[in-house]
Amino acid sequence: MTLSLGLGTRKYGPFLLSLVVLAAIWEIVGRTANILTLPPLSSVLVAFGKLWSSGAVTAPLFDSTMALLTGLAISLTLGSAIGIGMGMSRVIDVAIGPYVKAGLSAPLIAFVPVFLMIFGIGSETRIATVVAFSIFIVATNAATAMRTIDDRLLEMGRSFGASRWAIFRDIRLPAGAPYFVAGLRLGVARGVKGLINGEVLIAIIGLGGLVKKYGTVFSMDQLYAVILLIVLYASVAVGGVTLLSNLLVKDKANTA
């Protein structure tokens, strides 16, 4: 116990120290310089506490989470289907592979204004942004999951007369599980970014809407409080799914 604690301080000590120093500098500069753009840390934390307890963030938080989950559900089903198709059939891979690869790296955020005009300022725009950010990474990982399979296993399955479906379910899926899980994790990480990006650009709804609301009236301590909330939100989402994926993959490894 003491040993691990000692290792922890040695590993994270300098970082924690720098964090404390930064917080102290923020507080001191914020108090003494009295700049509009940098309220002292303490007043940001107070604003955060007020925001949280007043319930002003409950509705946007719920709202954003629903949009995120809907978008992720679409990305996971559609993206996995596309990726499985690409991994199983060379023709599908050749036909749509270039689009998936382009979608993975192209700045699809440029389509947000188009979504905004077609879908309006409702949830659909956010959901579309979440899907655009996450679907291609899910598809790419699903395709890799299908391809990583050992050919000898496939050959054995076929020689024992297993049907295509049986081979898919009993050989390909378990073997590709780690890649599916990685796709899920990366998809969530990108999806959260898509959600907040979409909301800030729509500028009215959800957590991103709060950023715009406090940003435009220069209500800085509340703005920083919302940014803090978004950072926490992203960390919890990404951290949660990382934890979940670790559990899932370990589970698979144990049963295999």
Partner 1 sequence: MVAARPARPRAPRWRLESMADRRLGRLAIRIAALVLFIGIWQAAGDDSINLLFPTFTRTVSVWWDLVESGVLPITLLITNQTLFVGFLIVLVLGIPIGIFTARIKLMDKIVSPYLTFLVAIPMIAIIPVIQALLGLTFAARVTVVVLFAIPYVVINTAVAVRRVDPVLTEMAFSFGASRLMTLRDVVLPAAVPGMMAGIRIALGQALIGMVVAELTIVGAGIGSLIADLQGRFRVAPVLAVACSIVIEGIILMSLVEWIERRLGRWSKQ
Dihedral pair phi/psi, residue 38, rounded to 5°: -130, 85
- Using DSSP's 3-state secondary structure scheme, residue 35 falls into coil
Q: What CA–CA distance (Å, rounded) separates 116 from 134? A: 18
Choose the stretch contacting partner 1; rule: CB under 8 A; options: 53-61, 175-183, 206-214, 243-251.
206-214
Q: How far is the CB of 107 from partner 1 (least distance, A)?
A: 4
Q: How far is the CB of 34 from partner 1 (least distance, A)?
A: 15
Taking CB under 8 A as the rule, does residue 98 contact partner 1? Answer: yes
Question: Are 226 and 87 in contact, with CB atoms under 8 Å apart?
Answer: no
Q: What CA–CA distance (Å, rounded) separates 230 from 93? A: 37
The tokens 């994790």 sit on which residue? 185
Taking CB under 8 A as the rule, does residue 47 contact partner 1? Answer: no
Choose the stretch contacting partner 1; rule: CB under 8 A; options: 52-60, 64-72, 141-149, 224-232.
224-232
Helices 58-88 + 220-255 axis angle, to 10:
40
Taking CB under 8 A as the rule, does residue 6 contact partner 1? Answer: no
Choose the stretch contacting partner 1; rule: CB under 8 A; options: 49-57, 86-94, 122-130, 139-147.
86-94
Question: How distant, in Å, are the alpha carbons of 16, 22, 218 from that of 4?
Answer: 16, 26, 45
Whichever of 50 and 158 has its CB closer to partner 1, that residue is: 158
Taking CB under 8 A as the rule, does residue 67 contact partner 1? Answer: no
Q: How far is the CB of 77 from partner 1 (least distance, A)?
A: 20
Taking CB under 8 A as the rule, does residue 212 contact partner 1? Answer: yes
Exposed, middle or buried, 227 (CB in 10 Å: 0-12/13-18/19+)?
Answer: middle
- Choosing from 100, 192, 205, 225, the residue that interacts with partner 1 (CB under 8 A) is 192
Question: Are 108 and 133 in contact, with CB atoms under 8 Å apart?
Answer: yes
Long-range contacts of 245-252 (CB under 8 A, 24+ apart): 245/181, 245/182, 245/184, 245/185, 248/177, 248/181, 249/177, 249/178, 249/181, 252/174, 252/177, 252/178
Residues in the chain: 256
- Choosing from 47, 146, 200, 241, the residue that interacts with partner 1 (CB under 8 A) is 200
Taking CB under 8 A as the rule, does residue 110 contact partner 1? Answer: yes
Taking CB under 8 A as the rule, does residue 33 contact partner 1? Answer: no
- Choosing from 77, 89, 148, 246, the residue that interacts with partner 1 (CB under 8 A) is 89
Q: What is the binding site for partner 1 (CB under 8 A)?
A: 11-15, 18, 36-37, 89-91, 93-96, 98-99, 102, 105-114, 116-118, 158, 161, 164, 189, 192-193, 195-197, 200-201, 208, 211-212, 214-216, 218, 220, 223-224, 226-227, 230-231, 234-235, 238
